[in-house]
Chains A and B, each alone.
Chain A
Amino acid sequence: MSNVKYTKSHEWFRAEGDLVTVGITDFAQSQLGDVVFVELPEAERALEADEEAAVIESVKAAGDISLPFAATVVEVNTAVEEAPELVNEDPEGEGWFFRVRLEDPSALDALMSAEEYAEQAEG
């Protein structure tokens, strides 16, 4: 069973073993509109909490992704760099951004569940 957690700023984190996959939610992609450019961090990069990790540009706006905890990038999804529209088409699947290893895996526990996220996104 996968364990997906969410932030107020519309990132999702899916824990699989000791790795965590990062992306943006369907709500976030709908707000951004057509994504035309994605800039991902390099593999092996050590990210500090709240550091800008990735950049997403849509036709109308720019956004960025940061993690609320420190982590190391393990793998990036080069497919979204090649085809940024994947972020719109399948934000919580094929449109993932990168995978990280957390310094403290329990940091995920503090994030929102799907239900909690859905509630605040509506409100």
Chain B
Amino acid sequence: MAQNSLKHSLKDSLKTPLYDLHVELGGKMVPFAGYAMPVQYAAGIVREHQHTRDAIGIFDVSHMGQMLVSGEGVAEALEALLPIDVAGLGINQQCYSVLTTESGGILDDLIVTRWSENEFFLVVNAATSAGDLKHLQNHLRGCDIRVLGQRALLAVQGPKAGELIGELAPETRALTFMHGVHTKLFDHDCYITRSGYTGEDGFEISVADTAVEAVTRELLKDPRTAMIGLGARDTLRLEAGLCLYGNDMDRTTSPIEAGLQWSIARSRRAGGDKAGGFLGAETVFAQMEEGVSRKRVGFTVAGKVPVRAGADVIDEAGNIVGKVTSGGFGPTLGASIGMAYLDRGYEKVGTDLYALVRGKQIAITVAKTPFVPQRYYRG
């Protein structure tokens, strides 16, 4: 049996502070974004995925970049880079945003949380974090930008996460989706937000790298919890219709093409109080006005064959009309799903097309996302 997976070097990879625990728990370590990360544990991706949908999954996301940007006028300065209402964020409120390029592409996607009037906490993707830092340093003159290299990040996700974290840190009970609080967990200082990337209710916990193993071991004592690897993280986010940077968007795709126009604040759009003023705004506005030549969509697959990233999409006549950017088996659905960029005119929900898999035409249908309903806690 020949396996078509790429072999990168594990030994050159960085380790998160939970590396030893992953190995101890039987994590199958693979190189990911420069880090050795567990793709799965003994239970396997399907069980880990379903455990997160049914109970509580704990994910090590310490590879992600954590930064603190502060200084007088930092909110306004950030608005030159992010098409969101940064100044309008309340203390401890957070917002998803893209970091745009001058040509209207996406440098990264991130979560911005206001810690205080002039202090913003950013969580960025691992692979892009060095580039993001340079970008912020170039554009945010006079602001203090600190990489929080000594902090780890845990995601605690699933329908029972609210109960568990509420028992351990009662201040979190009042948190609704996209809000955070400075608190203690097992006597360790941490910052807990009600957020995540699985489509489920849940939390992200930023904690000192020296404390994260103790916190994780304590959390794992609860029978509702289990460690979940990157494999299930990917299937969970795919079912939830969430984009993966580097797959479903990058510097060459705009937020409009990527279907992320919802992330652009009303006040920052053409005609808004604070319209434009972010990098690439002209391009983004023109696309919102005139439409785009291609668009990211979700699709379902007839049959179970996984349709993976890179597959061409063709129409009835055999013309190539798009490309798959994420795809595979969705364990909760028990079906194969994916995301693709399709040429204008093919993006309507219900459009029947084909994906080319090993030279065979596999019938796919453009579908609404999320594939599995998001269950965020909105109070």
Contact = CB atoms under 8 A, between A and B. Distances in A.
Contacts, number: 64
Interface stretch (B64-72, B282-290, B300-308): B300-308
B40 A33 contact: yes
Interface stretch (B2-10, B112-120, B363-371): B2-10
Contacts of B336: 36-37
A63 B1 CA distance: 6
Contact of A59 (B1, B4, B331): B331
Contact of B3 (A31, A34, A37): A31
A31 B39 CA distance: 11
B358 A11 contact: no
Nearest to B28: A33
Interface residues of B, number: 21
Interface in B224-262: 231, 235
Nearest to A34: B46
Given A33-B45, A62-B306, A56 B1 contact: yes
A33 B231 contact: yes
B45 A59 contact: yes
A28 B46 CA distance: 17
Contact of A24 (B1, B4, B308, B328): B1
A36 B327 CA distance: 13
A57 B305 contact: yes
Interface string B303-343: 01110100000000000000000001101000010000000
Contacts of A11: 1
B34 interface: no
Contacts of B308: 62
A57 B331 CA distance: 14
Give me the 4 closest cross-chain CB pairs, A-B, nearest first. A36-B329, A34-B46, A59-B45, A63-B3
Given A59-B235, A62-B308, A65-B1, 9 more contacts: A24-B1, A34-B44, A36-B336, A56-B1, A60-B5, A60-B40, A61-B3, A61-B4, A84-B304
